[in-house]
Every structure is written in structure tokens, then in C-alpha cells.
Structure 1
Amino acid sequence: MAQISIIGTLGKDPELEHGQNGGKAYTRLSLAWSESAKDQGGHWVDGPTVWLQVTAFGRVAENVVRSLHKGDRVVVTGRVKPETWTNRQSGESSTVLTVVADTVAPELTFASVQVAKNPKGGQQSGGWSGGGSQQGSGWNNQQPQQQGGFGAEGDEPPFDTWG
């Protein structure tokens, strides 16, 4: 199978589901991105939005559901997998490409996170925690926010991160 790495924005909150008869946990992510280009006037313009379906299983799925929210920018690495399905009404067969995620992580260009490790083998708790976003995750920040950590009382970082 082909490997792929993608950076995009979650289009909805992830929800944990289970396979038939209480099977393996999974979640399906709707990941969106668009290309930007300068128009003739020199202004940045977004192109059409592209959507991709991503599926994560097991511990990755559980951590994603606990840690990520609609609007968060993420990095996904995984395998491209064709899924074929048949339309019940027309009987027509279709194939769509999806990504089976090996890893899902916050994209840190415009956000920061604190990592909380999950206990080994037992019930998981924690996950990533955001850096102060009003929506709780901290990953979908479009503007820099003071997080502290560079010095006393949230001093400016020693470099220009937004220029």
C-alpha cells in the first residue's frame, strides 16, 4: 500500500465507534485543506476545499477522540486504501480512496500543546491538552497567543515566530 502524510483541518469532532459485536474501536475523521495562491492583485486567495476521509483504529482512535476537535489542524500519516461500496438503489459500484492512519498529531505551526502520557496497558486518560484556546484544544489558533514558558509572566519568545 502507498504511504501518505497529510496536514489538514478537522471538519467535525471525532466520535469513537466500535466494530460489530463490540469489536475494535475506530473513528473516522473528515480532513480538509485548500491551496492558497496570490491573485493578480497580489492578495492571497484560497482555492477549492479538498476533503479526505481518514480512519484511525485502536489506541490511536481513542486518543484522537479524547484530544482533537473540529477546526484543529493535524498531521496524519498512514496508508492509502481503496474502499469499494455498492449503491443499494442503483446497484452501481464505486471506489473511494481513504487513509488508514498510523499516526495523528497536532500541527504546531500556529498552536502549542502540552503532552500528557497515557498509562501503559490500563485504561487511558489524558492525551494532548491545548495551550489556551477558547475551544479547549489550542490547536486551531490562527493568531499567536501568550502561553508563558519563555520567562516570567509570559514574556515574549526570544525569536519572531510570526514574521
Structure 2
Amino acid sequence: MNECLVTVVGNIVTPPQRSRLPSGDGVTNFRMASTSRRFDRETQAWTDNRTLWVDVECWGELGGNVSHTLSKGDPVVVRGELYTHSWDTEQGRRSRPQIRAAHVAPDLARGTAEFRRTARPAAQAGPTGVPDDTAAEPPADDPWADRPTDYIEGEGALHEADSDLTGDRAAVPTLT
């Protein structure tokens, strides 16, 4: 297992495109750019440095959520496996970097977002009359599967919002 897991912060530069393969699997693809910045001592200003251009593929439910949520120009954080996609052309062998995303999120350092949980089908009762939870279990390769959670299926928000901190007031404690 020599996966090259990376986290890339940047902007979506092509509209996310959702495709359905003949096998029935869904995939969403987009291209992103991540430009590093550096401080130029001569001009005493920050300037753009090099840019990484990378294609991102999002499979299954993640891909559906990405195609319904994100657009060209959105700042994102992508985490997944980096690999080289290669193909043959008349001019010879070509390649480009690609990320098979495990996680995609809007970059909240650059804006706000509203989160809605994806509706999941209710567990069906098995032959014993007990709900069959196998469909609700995380995939075997889920790195978060063994982590404890305070989420209870069917419940509302995990924590109630403090009314003193909502509205126009900042949710930052003041020092006295």
C-alpha cells in the first residue's frame, strides 16, 4: 500500500461534469488550480508563484454531492490519492496528474457554505424483524470508520445554536 495521499487547496477551473458509466457507477470530474504565493522583497508585496493544475475525479455519492454543490471558480480543499493518468496518442505517450478524491469541501477560509446531510434510505427489517444495518455500515476502506461520533441517526443538529451568538454578532469570545 503505497498510496500517495495529498491535500490540495485551490480553485475549480472547469465546471464539474457528472457522468454515468455503462456499469452504472457515477463519476464527477473537474480541473483545479492551486497557486502558491511568495513575498517579493523587491516590491514588498505578495505575488503569485507557481501553479499546480490537476484533474480531480469524484466517484459515487461524493461525485453527486460535488456536482450539485460546487461550480467553476469555487475555492475548494480536495483530499485523495494522487496518481499519474497516462494514455497513448499519435504524438506518443501523454500523462497528467490526477486525484481520486476521498473528500472535497468548500474552502471556508475564503467564504461561507450551508451544509445539508444527504438523505439516506431507511434500514430495511431483516428476516428476524431487526433492521438490517449492513447498508448503513461504512465501506471497509473508510479511514474514519472506527472513530467515535456523537451523531445519532435521525436526530437534528448536534448542538443547539446559542441565540446570543447568532445574527449580526460575532461568535468570538471577548477577553475581560
Q: TM-score, normalised by structure 2?
A: 0.66
Name the CA shift for 1:49/1:151 in 2 (closer, same or farther; >3 Å).
same
For residue 172 of structure 2, the aligned residue among 131, 150, 158 is: 158
SS of 2:115's equivalent? Answer: strand
Q: Counterpart in 2 of 1:34?
A: 35
Q: Distance in 2 between matches of 1:43 and 1:64?
A: 35
1:62 matches 2:60: no
Amino acid aligned to 1:8: G
Q: Which amino acid aligns with 2:58?
A: A
Kindly provide the amino acid, as one letter, of the partner of residue 104 in structure 2: V
Q: What is the CA deviation profile of residues 96-146 of structure 1, one whole-angstrom value per residue up to 9, with x for unaligned ones? A: 221100111111112122211111138xxxxxxxxxxxxxxxxxxxxxxxx
* Count of residue pairs brought into register by the alignment: 131
In the superposition, the TM-score normalised over structure 1's length comes to 0.71
Write out aligned runs for 1:37-116 (5 A): 37-39=38-40, 40-87=42-89, 89-90=90-91, 92-116=92-116
* Cα separation, partners in 2 of 1:81 and 1:154, compared to 1, 3 Å: same
Q: Which runs of 5+ in 1 are unaligned?
A: 123-148
Q: Which runs of 4+ in 1 moved over 4 A?
A: 149-153
Structure 1 residues 52-95: Cα deviation after superposition (integer angstroms, max 9, x where no partner): 111111100000000001111111111112222000x23x1223
Distance 2:78 2:167 in 1: 34
Contact 1:9 1:31 in 2 (8 A): yes
Counterpart of 2:8 in structure 1 is 6
**Inter-partner Cα distance in structure 1 for 2:116 and 2:38:** 38
1:23 aligns with 24
Contact 1:10 1:70 in 2 (8 A): yes
Are the equivalent residues in 2 in contact too, given 1:76–1:101 (CA < 8 A)?
yes
| Displacement after TM superposition at 1:155 (Å) | 2.9
- Report the structure, 1 or 2, having the larger strand content: 1
Q: Aligned equivalents of 1:47 and 1:153: distance in 2?
A: 39
Aligned CA distance change for structure 1 residues 153 and 97 (closer, same or farther; 3 Å): closer
Identical amino acids, percent of aligned pairs: 22
Task: Please give the per-residue CA displacement for 1:20-39, whole angstroms capped at 9, x wherever unaligned.
Answer: x2531111121111111122
Could you say if the C-alpha distance between residues 72 and 93 of structure 1 is closer, same or farther in structure 2, counting changes exceeding 3 Å?
A: same
CA RMSD in angstroms, aligned pairs only: 2.2
Alpha-carbon contact 2:54-2:96 (below 8 Å) kept? no
Code of the residue aligned with 1:82 in structure 2: it is T
- Please identify the structure whose Cα radius of gyration is greater: 2
